[in-house]
Chain A
Amino acid sequence: MIWHIAKRELYDNLSSLRFALATVLLLGLMLTNAVVHLREHPERVQRYRDRVSQYQNHIASHAANSLYDLAQEGPGNLHKKPSDLRFCAEGGEAFMSDRAWAGHHRWSTDTLKSFWILTYPSATPNRDNVRPDVTKVDWGFVIGYVLSLIALLFTFDSISGEREHGTLRLTLANSIPRHTVLIGKFLGALISVNIPFILAVLVNLLVISTSSDVHLGAEAWGRLGIIFLIAVLYTCLFLALGLLVSARVQRSAVSLVILLLVWVVFVVFMPSTLVSIAGKSTPSGPTFDFSERSWKIHGELRDEYSPRRHKEAEGSIKRIQIDGAYVTKDAEQQERLHEERLNQRIAEVHQARTITRISPVTIVQNLIESFAGTGFERHLQFLENVRAYVREFRTFIVDTDSADPESLHIFGVRTGMSQEPVNREAIPKFEDTLNLSKDFNTATMELLLLMLFVLVLLSGAYLAFVRVEV
Chain B
Amino acid sequence: MIGTLIRRETLDNLMTFRFAAAVFIMLLLVVANTFVLITDYERRLASHNEAVKMHQRQLQEKITYSAGAVRVDRPPNPLSIFNVGFDKRLGNEVRISHGSVPSLWDANMHESANPFMDMFASMDIVFIFEVILSLLALIFAYNAFAGEYESGTLRLVLTHAIGRGEILVAKYISAMLCLIVPLLMSLLLATILLTTSASISLNNNDFLRIGGIIFTSIAYLSVFYLIGLLISAATRRTSTALMSSMFIWGFLVLVYPNVILTVTPRPEAPDALRTSAFNQIESIWDTFDRERKHYLATDDFPGEDWGYELKGWGSRGAYFLDNARTLSYTYRSTMDFEGFGEEDEPKMPHAQKHFGFLGAQTIDAADRTWLIRKPTLEEIFIQPANMERIWLKLSPVGLYDAATQAWAGTDLLGIRDFFHDARQYRQSVISYFYDNKVFESRQWFSGDKGAADWSGLPQFSFQRDDININAKRAIPDVCLLLMINVVLFIIIFLIFVKSEV
Tell me the A residues contacting B by CB distance below 8 Å. Answer: 16-18, 21-22, 25, 28-29, 32, 36, 91-92, 94-96, 122-124, 126-137, 141, 145-146, 149, 153, 253-254, 256-258, 260-261, 264-265, 268-269, 271-273, 275-277, 279-282, 286-290, 292, 345-346, 348-349, 352, 356, 376
Q: How far is the CA of A133 from the CA of B83 in the complex (A)?
A: 13
> Chain A residues with Cβ under 8 A from B118's Cβ?
92, 95, 124, 126
List residues of chain B with CB within 8 A of the CB of A137: 258-259, 262
Q: Are B258 and A126 in contact (CB under 8 A)?
A: no
Query: 9 more A-B contacts (CB under 8 A) besides A29-B255, A128-B107, A287-B54?
Result: A124-B109, A130-B412, A260-B139, A265-B28, A269-B123, A271-B121, A272-B120, A281-B43, A286-B53
Residues of A within 8 A of B17 (CB): 253-254, 257
Question: Is residue B199 contacting chain A, with contact meaning CB distance below 8 A?
Answer: no
CA distance A134 to B254 in the complex (A): 11
Q: Is the CB of B115 within 8 A of A123?
A: yes
Q: Is B114 in contact with chain A by the CB < 8 A criterion?
A: yes
- Give Cα distance in the complex from A349 to B50, angstroms: 22
**Residue contact A345 to B115, C-beta cutoff 8 Å:** yes
Q: How far is the CA of A126 from the CA of B91 in the complex (A)?
A: 8
If A257-B21, A349-B116 touch, whether A276 touches B122 (CB-CB below 8 Å) is yes
Q: Which of A129, A136, A260 contacts B135 (CB 8 A)?
A: A260
26 CB-based A-B contacts, threshold 8 Å: A16-B243, A17-B243, A21-B243, A94-B119, A123-B115, A126-B89, A127-B89, A130-B381, A130-B412, A131-B388, A136-B258, A264-B132, A269-B123, A269-B128, A273-B33, A273-B123, A275-B120, A275-B122, A276-B37, A276-B122, A277-B36, A279-B40, A282-B50, A287-B112, A348-B116, A349-B114
- The answer to whether A36 touches B262, judged by C-beta atoms less than 8 angstroms apart, is yes
Which among B244-252, B352-360, B462-470 touches the partner chain? B244-252
- Structural contact, B131 and A127, CB atoms closer than 8 A: no
In the complex, the answer to whether A348 meets B117 with C-beta atoms within 8 Å is: yes
Residues of B17-54 at the interface with A, using a CB-CB cut-off of 8 Å, are: 17-18, 21, 25, 28-29, 32-33, 36-37, 39-40, 43, 46-47, 50-51, 53-54
Say whether B258 contacts A128, CB under 8 Å.
Answer: no
4 closest A-B pairs by CB: A92-B119, A122-B115, A272-B123, A95-B119
Q: Is the CB of B90 within 8 A of A130?
A: yes
- How far apart are A316's CB and chain B's nearest CB, in angstroms? 27
Report which of A130, A258, A268, A345 forms a contact with B382, defined as CB distance below 8 A: A130
**Contact between chains at B18 and A127 (CB < 8 Å):** no
Does B351 have its Cβ within 8 Å of any Cβ on chain A?
Answer: no
Chain B residues closer than 8 Å to A92, beta-carbon distance = 118-120
Complexed CA–CA distance, A288 and B267 (Å): 41
In the complex, which residue of chain B has the Cβ closest to the Cβ of A345? B114
Q: How far is the CB of B134 from chain A (nearest CB, A)?
A: 11
The distance in angstroms between the C-alpha atoms of A407 and B262, with both chains bound, is 59
Contact, CB under 8 Å: B114 / A348: yes
Q: A25-B251, A130-B412 are in contact. Are A279 and B25 (CB under 8 A)?
A: no
B498 on the A face (CB < 8 A):
no
Do residues B116 and A265 form an inter-chain contact, with CB atoms below 8 A?
no
Q: Which one, B39, B46, B91, B255, contacts A25 given CB within 8 A?
A: B255
* CB–CB A128/B90 < 8 A: yes
CB distance from B142 to the nearest CB of A (A): 9
What is the CB-to-nearest-CB distance from A28 to chain B, in angstroms, rounded to a whole number? 8
**Known: A128-B91, A282-B43. Is A271-B120 also a contact (CB below 8 A)?**
yes
Q: Is the CB of B385 within 8 A of A276?
A: no
Contact A153 B243 (CB under 8 A): yes
Q: Which residues from chain B contact A128 at a C-beta distance below 8 Å?
A: 90-91, 104-105, 107, 326, 381
**Cα of A190 to Cα of B120 in the assembled complex, Å:** 31
The answer to whether B86 touches A130 (Cβ under 8 A) is yes
Instruction: Give A145 to B250 CA distance when docked, in angstroms.
Output: 9
Whether A153 and B111, one on each chain, are in contact in the complex, defined by CB atoms closer than 8 angstroms, is no
Q: Provide the bound-state CA to CA distance between A356 and B86, in Å.
A: 24
Find chain B residues with CB under 8 A from A345 CB: 114-116
User: Does B242 reach chain A (CB closer than 8 Å)?
Assistant: yes
B334 CB, nearest partner CB in chain A, Å = 15
Given A127-B108, A146-B254, are A346 and B90 neighbors across the interface (CB < 8 Å)? no
Tell me which residues across on chain B come within 8 A of A264, comparing CB atoms.
Answer: 25, 131-132, 135
Q: How many residues of B contact A (CB 8 A)?
A: 73
Closest to B242 in A: A256
Instruction: State which residues 224-260 of B face A: CB under 8 Å.
Output: 240, 242-244, 246-247, 250-251, 254-255, 257-259
Known: A269-B33, A287-B50. A135 touches B116 (CB 8 A): no
B293 to chain A, nearest CB (A): 26
The complex places the Cα of A211 from the Cα of B117 at a distance, in Å, of 35
Which residues of A are found within 8 Å of B91, using beta-carbon distances? 127-128
A273 near B381 with CB under 8 A, answer: no
Closest B residue, CB atoms, query A130: B385
Q: Which residue on chain B has the smallest CB distance to residue A39? A: B262
| A261 surroundings in chain B (CB, below 8 A) | 21, 25
Minimal beta-carbon separation of A206 from chain B (angstroms)? 19
Structural contact, A153 and B246, CB atoms closer than 8 A = yes
Q: How close is B255's CB to chain A, nearest CB, in angstroms?
A: 7
CB distance from B354 to the nearest CB of A (A): 26
The reply to whether the CB of B68 lies closer than 8 angstroms to some CB of chain A is no
A258 touches B29 (CB 8 A): no
CB of B121 within 8 A of CB of A272, answer yes
Interface check B384, CB cutoff 8 A = yes
- Does B57 sit within 8 A of A, measured CB to CB? yes
Q: A352 contacts B117, CB within 8 Å? A: yes
Chain B residues with Cβ below 8 Å from A136 are: 258, 262
Shortest C-beta distance, B327 to chain A (Å), equals: 12
Q: Is the CB–CB distance between A276 and B40 below 8 Å?
A: yes
CB closest residue in chain B, given A135 = B258
Bound-state Cα–Cα, A287 to B326, Å: 30
Considering the chains assembled together, what is the distance between the CA atoms of A18 and B132 in angstroms?
Answer: 21
**Residues of chain A within 8 A of B251, CB atoms compared:** 25
Q: Which residues of A contact B371 (CB under 8 A)?
A: none
Cβ of B195 within 8 Å of any chain A Cβ, yes or no, is no
A394 to B261, CA, bound (A): 47
CB of A130 within 8 A of CB of B123, answer no
Determine the chain A residues whose CB is within 8 A of the CB of B109 once the complex forms.
Answer: 124, 127
Residues of B within 8 A of A134 (CB): 257-258, 261-262
A95 adjacent to B139 (CB under 8 Å) = no
List, in ascending order, chain B residues with CB within 8 A of A271's CB: 120-121
What residues on A are CB-neighbors of B255 within 8 Å?
25, 28-29, 146
Residues of A within 8 A of B179 (CB): none
* Contact flag A126-B90 (CB < 8 Å), given A25-B247, A146-B255: yes
Asked if B420 CB lies within 8 Å of chain A CBs, one says no
Would B131 and A268 count as touching, CB distance under 8 A? yes
Nearest residue (CB) in B for A21 is B247
Which residue of chain A has the shortest Cβ distance to B111 in the bound complex? A289
> Can you name the residue of chain A whose Cβ is closest to the Cβ of B113?
A124
Distance in Å: Cβ of B206 to nearest Cβ of chain A: 22
Q: Which residue of B lies closest to A122 (CB)?
A: B115
Chain B residues contacting A273 (CB-CB under 8 Å) are 32-33, 36, 123
A94: which B residues are within 8 A, CB to CB? 119
Residue of B109, B123, B247, B261 contacting most chain A CB atoms (<10 Å):
B247
Residues on A with beta carbons closer than 8 Å to the beta carbon of B43: 279-282
Task: Judge whether A269 and B114 touch: CB under 8 Å.
Answer: no
Question: In the assembled complex, which residues on chain A have CB atoms less than 8 Å from the CB atom of B385?
Answer: 130-132
User: Who on chain A is nearest to B326 by CB?
Assistant: A128
Bound: A278/B299 CA distance, A: 62
In the assembly, what is the distance between CA of A255 and CA of B162, in Å? 35
Shortest Cβ distance from residue B338 to the other chain A in the assembled complex, whole angstroms: 15
Could you tell me the distance between the alpha carbons of A289 and B58 in the complex, rounded to whole angstroms? 10
Q: Report B-chain residues with C-beta under 8 Å of the C-beta of A277.
A: 36, 39
B263 CB within 8 Å of chain A:
yes
Given the interface contacts A130-B381, A260-B135, does A145 sit within 8 Å of B254 by beta carbon?
A: yes
